[in-house]
């Protein structure tokens, strides 16, 4: 298992041949570094799952980060499934009317 620390508050890990797990705080303070780390991990070996089960805190920047990763994978013809999205991120996605982009 390889891991890349995006910042002190968020961690990105390759947890299986097809999945990347994000844990910690995915917020404005960590979103830029997290975007780079998640994008790098997702692009390896055709990862198909982004697991957000370990995310303890998030905000609109965290949602934007996830949307950017999903969009980038889609542009490359690689569908990416988001699993275990935190409730707060789900609510924010609904309010912003972008939940369909994460389905």
The DSSP-derived string for 18-70 is TEEEEEEEESTTTHHHHHHHHHHHHHGGG--EEEEEEEEEE-HHHHHHHHHHH
How far are the Cα atoms of 1, 6, 81, 100 from residue 40, in angstroms, in the given order?
15, 11, 16, 24
pTM of the full structure: 0.88
Range of the domain at 74: 3-102
Phi first, then psi, for residue 70 (nearest 5°) are -65, -45
> What pLDDT was estimated at residue 1?
35
How many structural domains comprise the chain? 1
pLDDT, tens only, 16-72:
889 999 999 999 999 999 999 999 999 887 789 999 999 999 999 999 999 999 999
In CATH, what number is assigned to the domain containing residue 14?
A: 3.30.750.24
Phi and psi at residue 79, in whole multiples of 5°?
Answer: -65, 140
């Amino acid at each position: 298992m390889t891991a890349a620390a995006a910042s002190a508050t968020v961690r990105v890990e390759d947890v299986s041949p097809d999945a990347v797990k994000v844990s910690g705080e995915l917020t404005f303070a960590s979103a830029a570094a997290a975007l780079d780390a998640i994008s790098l991990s997702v692009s390896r070996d055709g990862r198909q799952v982004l697991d957000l089960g370990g995310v303890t805190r998030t905000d609109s920047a965290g949602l934007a980060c996830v949307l950017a990763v999903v969009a980038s994978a889609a542009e490359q013809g690689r569908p990416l499934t988001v699993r275990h999205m935190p409730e707060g991120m789900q609510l924010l996605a609904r309010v912003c009317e972008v939940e369909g982009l994460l389905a």
